[in-house]
Amino acid sequence: MSSMRLGVHCSVGKGLENTVKEAVALNCETIQIFSRSPRSWGRKEFDLQEVEEFKTALKHHRIFPLFVHMLYLPNLASSDKKLYKKSVDVLIDELKRCRILNAECLIIHPGRYTSGSFETGIKNIITAINFSFSKVSAEGGSASGGKNETILLLENLAGGKTDIGWKFEEIRQIIKAVKDKKRIGVCLDTAHLFAAGYDVSKKGFDNTVKEFDEIVGLKYLKLIHLNDSLGDIGSRIDRHTHIGEGKIGIKGFEALIQHPKIKNIPGIIETPRGDLSLDRKNLKKLREIMR
């Protein structure tokens, strides 16, 4: 039987107390949040009492791990010096905020090289990660005791335009150059995976898992974003849709969730949001597959 811990991306817009209420209402076993607005460079300082109550509530309801997704504005591959500096500053700040939250992982999109080159872009990503780790050392208490070493997760991209990190080889290149291997990992997004041309089907997913393991290593896989894809395989179109309503289909998710090397990795849904009934419907489909 699969033991994948399932959850959704929960809103923090109405306060961390409501974030937990939302997670409990959906029977989440794990959650993902933004630590700030995803579309603004500015942010507020945490209310530390609210944070402590949030951590206590997560522990009480056995909701773990806590994943934080970095906002959308930074681009660590940018050749624009001003944007690059702002992006690195945000990464450093987000790692610090993850420490305060006791978040196990911080998810980032590696970046796009846009007006620069691939070589410069990937070098910029590597430099940003190593520099950020040097500025935010792995220290401080965690919920499980010991050091709070927030793991930075590289999310695979769909392969649009000048994306870096849509091929397993590109993810490997970044990880290989990161000095502190204990603090780096991968989040595989199923819609991105499919759009990039990797097979997520009953017949082909095992080959995709083997390819990832051979090129990157399954030891680095810490999270799966569970999203169906509106685009065809290899389309490089990043369009998420509800579980079973896209080109991956229920059979694809059966192959993924029931795979012996994947089934214990936590899964977060990032399907289009409306009211909680949509999230509840997607979670129900996945839990039926698990049973």
pLDDT at position 139 is: 57
Confidence of residue 148 (pLDDT cuts 50, 70, 90): low
Range in 1-5, 96-100, 222-226 the model is least confident about: 1-5
Work out the average pLDDT over 217-240.
Answer: 97
pLDDT at position 275 is: 84
pLDDT at position 227 is: 97
Judge whether residue 143 has pLDDT over 50.
no
Is 123:170 a contact under the CB 8 Å cutoff? no
- Mean pLDDT of the residues in the chain: 94
Q: Is residue 1 part of a domain?
A: no
For residue 206, how far is the Cα from the chain centroid?
22
**Tens-digit pLDDT profile for residues 76-127:** 999 999 999 999 999 999 999 999 999 999 999 999 999 899 999 999 999 9
Work out the average pLDDT over 131-151.
Answer: 69
DSSP, res 147 = B
Q: Is residue 54 part of a domain?
A: yes
- The domain in which residue 221 lies consists of 6-290
pLDDT at position 291 is: 83
pLDDT at position 138 is: 62
Q: What are the residue numbers of the active site?
A: 39, 69, 72, 109, 155, 189, 192, 225, 238, 240, 270
Q: Is residue 121 part of a domain?
A: yes
Judge whether residue 144 has pLDDT over 50.
no
Residue 222 three-state SS: strand
Is 122:76 a contact under the CB 8 Å cutoff? no
pLDDT at position 140 is: 46
Is 196:188 a contact under the CB 8 Å cutoff? no
Please name the amino acid found at residue 152. L
Q: Is residue 137 part of a domain?
A: yes
Work out the average pLDDT over 34-40.
Answer: 92
* Cα distances (Å, whole numbers) of residue 136 to 40, 96, 99, 132, 139: 22, 7, 9, 6, 8
pLDDT at position 146 is: 39
pLDDT at position 194 is: 97
Confidence of residue 149 (pLDDT cuts 50, 70, 90): confident
Judge whether residue 31 has pLDDT over 90.
yes
Judge whether residue 219 has pLDDT over 90.
yes
Judge whether residue 145 has pLDDT over 90.
no
**Tens-digit pLDDT profile for residues 156-194:** 999 998 999 999 999 999 999 999 999 999 999 999 999
For residue 65, cis peptide bond before it (omega within 30 degrees of 0)? yes
Confidence of residue 252 (pLDDT cuts 50, 70, 90): very high
* Helical pair 16-25 and 48-60, crossing angle rounded to 10 deg: 20
Cβ neighbours around 48 below 10 Å, total: 9
| Total count of domains within the chain | 1
Please name the amino acid found at residue 3. S
Q: Is residue 188 part of a domain?
A: yes
> Considering the entire predicted model, what is its pTM?
0.95
Task: Tell me what percent of the residues of the chain surpass a pLDDT of 70.
Answer: 96
Cβ neighbours around 239 below 10 Å, total: 16
CATH at residue 264: 3.20.20.150
Sequence-separated (6 or more) residues with CB below 8 Å from residue 217: none
Confidence of residue 147 (pLDDT cuts 50, 70, 90): low
End-to-end CA, the chain:
7
pLDDT at position 274 is: 82
